Amino acid sequence: MKSQTLQKVDHSALKTNQIIIITLNILAFILNQPWLAAFVALMMGIGSALKIPGFGFVYKFILKPRGWMKPDVLDDNPEPHRFAQFLGFLFMTGGSVALFLGSSVLGWSLVWLVVALAALNAFGGFCVGCAVYYWLVRFNLPGFTKQPPAGIFPGMKPKASANV
C-alpha cells in the first residue's frame, strides 16, 4: 500500500541548499579545484545521512533568523527530496573521484550535471531526483512508498498545501 501522508517541507531550506551547491560547484570549476567539488559531495553525503539538506544550516542559522529568506512551507513528501540529494551526492562523488583520477572531462561533466539539476529545481521548481523517486515507486521497490501530492506532476514543486 502506498503512503499518501504528507508532511510540512520548507522549500526555502531546499532552495538555499541548491543555490549553495550551484555556486560552490561553479566556483570549483572556474578555479579548477576538485577539492571544492569533493567538499560539496561530502556535505551532500552528510545531509543524506542526517536526512537534512546538506547546506540547510545556512538557511536555518543565518538566512531565516535574519529574515533574509522567508519560509516556504508546503505539504510535500520529504523522502523524494532526500533521495534527490542522495543522487546528487552519488554524481558529485563520481565526479570528484574522476577529477582526482585525472579524468577532467568526465569529472566536470558530472559536476555540471548536478549544477543543471539543482538549477532546474531552484529556479524551475522541478526536482528530477524526486521524479525518479516517484517513478521507482511504480516498481514497488522497498523504501519507495510515497505518492506525489494530489494533482501535482511528479517532481514538480507543490502549488499549495493539500490540507491546512
- For other proteins, the binding residues (CB under 8 A) are 26, 29-32, 70-72, 74, 112, 116, 119, 123-126, 151, 153, 156-157, 159-161, 164
* Pair 22, 118: CB distance under 8 Å: yes
Nearest approach, Cβ of 112 to other proteins (angstroms)? 6
Q: Which is nearer to other proteins, 58 or 162 (CB)?
A: 162
Nearest approach, Cβ of 139 to other proteins (angstroms)? 25
Provide the strand spans (E) within the chain: 7-10, 73-76
Nearest approach, Cβ of 135 to other proteins (angstroms)? 18
State the burial class of residue 32 (Cβ atoms within 10 Å of its Cβ: 0-12, 13-18, 19+).
exposed
Q: Which is nearer to other proteins, 71 or 143 (CB)?
A: 71
Nearest approach, Cβ of 39 to other proteins (angstroms)? 18
C-alpha cell at 102: 585525472
* Pair 11, 75: CB distance under 8 Å: no
